[in-house]
A and B are shown apart, each in its own frame.
Chain A
């Protein structure tokens, strides 16, 4: 199985500042079709995961453009610009390149 490793475990951010979360996969997530199958989710407290970024850098519908995704074949970054109170929660990266789909352990974002 592909292992997804996130860092840091938690991050504390001042509102208005930016935050970055890293994710590394144990195998290249670049498909032969040129698409990199890494996804980012935010799970707000008491809620289900919501899709933020799909295929490494595509913003999901309704997601503010303060969120952006980037990376290479195995190293990925989620950047949140101008962090707001509504961004608090646990962020997960996931790989959907091959079965079984796997997820990182999560990064908890809180406000200072």
Chain B
């Protein structure tokens, strides 16, 4: 059974940092292209970041809205992908999902940025 479990969500103040983890199982993680997608309170889906597989040199891509503040990484030995979020803004408030190859999705984790 395929599983993706996100953790690390929290209530944080603007300007602070947070790291999300997505632990996976049930598929060949090392070959998967992993993404983070967020969903605003208005239900709009927004792609955040992508990391490709080792065969693609772990290439990374970011949405303009998070470029320079967020960093995606992965650990194939742990079948996990991460999202380091720095300089958080109120508009980063959302449910964050990880997805593998756009086919498998985690249950999501809430990030609230507020003073």
Contact = CB atoms under 8 A, between A and B. Distances in A.
Is chain B found bound to chain A in the same assembly? yes
Interface of A: 39, 47-51, 54, 60, 90, 92, 94, 96, 99-103, 105-106
Contacts of A60: 103
B11 interface: no
Contacts of A96: 102
Contacts, number: 41
B47 A51 contact: no
A99 B50 contact: yes
Contacts of B64: 100
Q: Which size bracket describes the interface of B in this complex?
A: 10 to 19
Contacts of A90: 43
B45 A51 contact: no
B70 interface: no
Contacts of B50: 99
25 contacts: A39-B102, A47-B107, A48-B97, A49-B45, A49-B97, A49-B105, A51-B105, A90-B43, A92-B45, A94-B45, A96-B102, A99-B50, A100-B61, A100-B63, A100-B64, A101-B35, A101-B47, A101-B102, A102-B47, A103-B44, A103-B46, A103-B47, A105-B44, A106-B43, A106-B44
A48 B107 contact: yes
Nearest to A60: B103
